Amino acid sequence: MFNKMIKRAAAVLTVLVMSSQCLATASSFVDPGGWSVGDLNTTYQEWDLFVSPTGNLPDVGHTVSPAISSDPTIDALAPGFNSGSGNFYSFAGDYGFMTEIYNHGGRSGVGGLPFGSGTHVIVQTSATLNGNTGVYANTLELVDAVGDPIVGGANANALRHDVIFEGIVSSTFGDVYQREEIWEFYLPGFVDDFRVQADVIVHSSFDQLRVDTAISGEAYPTTSVVIPEPSSILAPGSLGVLSAFRRKN
């Protein structure tokens, strides 16, 4: 009996150690490498709580310099909805999300930008996985305020796309498998308002979004991130389907 108790305690300790290595938080998101939040002609907006299917304002943070009179929002696209735990989700099929990002050369900006300026954009997403998919990576794109393509905004034109975290996180229904990703784009000659949009697989919970922008004459160097070591990445298995509702910290 004593030996069984020792083995059981050792097994519990192993699980706790593994969990401490794999739990993810918003700290997996990173700051821009070429500028700081609050610098002139930059914007920062981040969401971690969606209280409505549409019109959600940034709840983690929102900083623009100089001030822009319109606030960015994020919407779920049908059949997506906001869950009781503050995420976007769908039982019925694949869904999408769309943000409205207000830029310094847009209708709410103050203008006066250097001739030939463009916009460097960093997008970071967090979603649970259904199988091996959360956000459909090849669908994430930047479009203008009416949904038309922007030069440099197509997924194929991204300066970079990386996974910055992949592993098990806690949820209200137990452990789920989550992926956090980063994209960077440069929109030459474009300083107007724009949208970030992408599709998400059914039964995946879209948890968090961060968008940073900076007006610049050319693209900044891409942001440095620490990519997870393979030993810290566990096989998705069925965890992405067990629950789509991440516990908000």
* pLDDT tens, position by position, 88-133: 999 999 999 999 999 999 999 998 999 999 999 999 999 999 999 9
How high is the pLDDT of residue 249? Answer: 38
The answer to whether the bond into 58 is cis (omega within 30° of 0) is no
Cα separation of the two ends of the chain: 39
**Would you call 157 helix, strand, or coil by DSSP?**
helix
pLDDT, averaged across the chain:
85
- Alpha-carbon gap, residue 62 to 44, rounded angstroms: 5
Radius of gyration of the chain (CA): 19
Domain chopping of the chain, boundaries = 2-242
User: Residue 92 is encoded by which pair of tokens?
Assistant: 């019925």
Residue 203, CA distances (Å) to 25, 103, 245 in order: 21, 33, 10
How high is the pLDDT of residue 9? Answer: 40
Cα dihedral 245, 180, 165, 177 sign: positive
Q: How confident is the model at residue 174 (pLDDT cuts 50, 70, 90)?
A: confident
User: Residue 18 is encoded by which pair of tokens?
Assistant: 């593994």
